Amino acid sequence: MGALAWLMMAIAIWHFTVFLPDRFWSGIVGAFLFSILGALAFGFAIHGLHVPGQDDTSLVTALEAVPGTALGLAVCWVLGVRSEAGEHRSDAFGRAA
């Protein structure tokens, strides 16, 4: 149940990435994957690789997904920016971007 709450929260937050410039690695789909991975990884990490069950899931469990999702999206963004920079460097050397 905890994992479902993390997943739902991550996807909810992902919906708001459309307000950011599309510089994510692999675009909106990359952001989708990284937000989910980030939320799940963070959740697992703070619960010691254990998923809270129905009785252990509370409002806090859902909020635990927020930093993970933000982290995942940040990683995706950095990867995207680096990838773009790589493309520009290629252009500078006259190769196809």
Partner 1 sequence: MTDRRRNLFILLLVAGLLLASGWVIATKDTKLGLDLRGGVELVYEAKPTPQQPVVDAEALDRSIDVMRERVDRLGVAEPEIQRSGEKQISVGLPDVANADEAVDQVGQVAQLYFYDWEPNVIGENGRPSPNDVEVTRGGEGGQAGVSGGHPLYDALQIALKRPVVKDGNNSHEGLWYAIDEKDKKVLAGPQEQRKDVADDLEDKQKPRRGEPAELTAEQAGRAKIVEVKEGTTLVRCEEPDREGDEDRPKEDCWFVLADNVALRGTEIKEPEQTYDDGPGGSGQPVVSFKFSDDGRKTWERVTKEIAERGSRNFVPGSDVPTASHHFAIVLDDELISVPYIDFQENPNGIDAANGSQIQGGFTLDSAQELANLLKTGALPVKLELISQSQVSATLGEQALDEGLLAGAAGFGIVALFLLVFYRILGVIAVLALTVYSAYFFALVKLIPITLTLPGIAGTILTIGVAADANIVIFERVKEEIRAGRSVMAGLAAGYKKGLTAIIDANVVTIMVAFILFVLATAGVKGFAFTLGVGTLVSLFTAVLFTQAIVGTLGRSKLLSSPSALGAGKPRKPITFDFMGWSKWFFSMSGVILLVCAIALAGKGIDFGIDFESGTRIRTALEQKVDENRVREVLAGVELDGGRSLADAEIQAIQDPGIGPNAFQVSTEKLAPDEVTVVEDALDNEIGIRGSPNTQSIGPTFGQTVAESAIVAIIASLLVISVYLALRFEWKYAVPVLIALAHDLLITTGVYALVGREVTTSTVAALLTILGFSLYDTIIVFDRIRENVPRMPRATYSQIVNRSMSEVIVRSLATTFTAGLPVLALMLFGGETLRDFAFALLVGTVSGTYSSVFIASQVLTHWKEREPLWRRRRALIAGEHGGVVPAYATGGAAATVEPEEPRRPRRALTAPDDPQRGVSREEFDEMVRDLHADPPPARTAVKEPPAPAPAPREPERAPDADPSELYMKGDGGTDGKKRPPRKPRNRKHGRPR
DSSP string, 24-71: STTHHHHHHHHHHHHHHHHHHHHTTS----TTT--HHHHHTHHHHHHH
Q: Which stretch binds partner 1 (CB under 8 A): 43-51, 61-69, 70-78?
A: 61-69
Write down the least CB distance from residue 92 to partner 1, Å: 17
Write down the least CB distance from residue 38 to partner 1, Å: 15
Does the protein bind partner 1 through residue 90 (CB under 8 A)? Answer: no
CB 88 within 8 A of CB 27: no
Q: Which stretch binds partner 1 (CB under 8 A): 24-32, 40-48, 71-79?
A: 24-32
Residue of the chain from 21, 48, 49, 54 that contacts partner 1 (CB under 8 A): 54
Write down the least CB distance from residue 74 to partner 1, Å: 18
Residue 42 structure tokens: 């963070």
C-alpha span between 22 and 70 (Å, rounded): 16
Does the protein bind partner 1 through residue 93 (CB under 8 A)? Answer: no
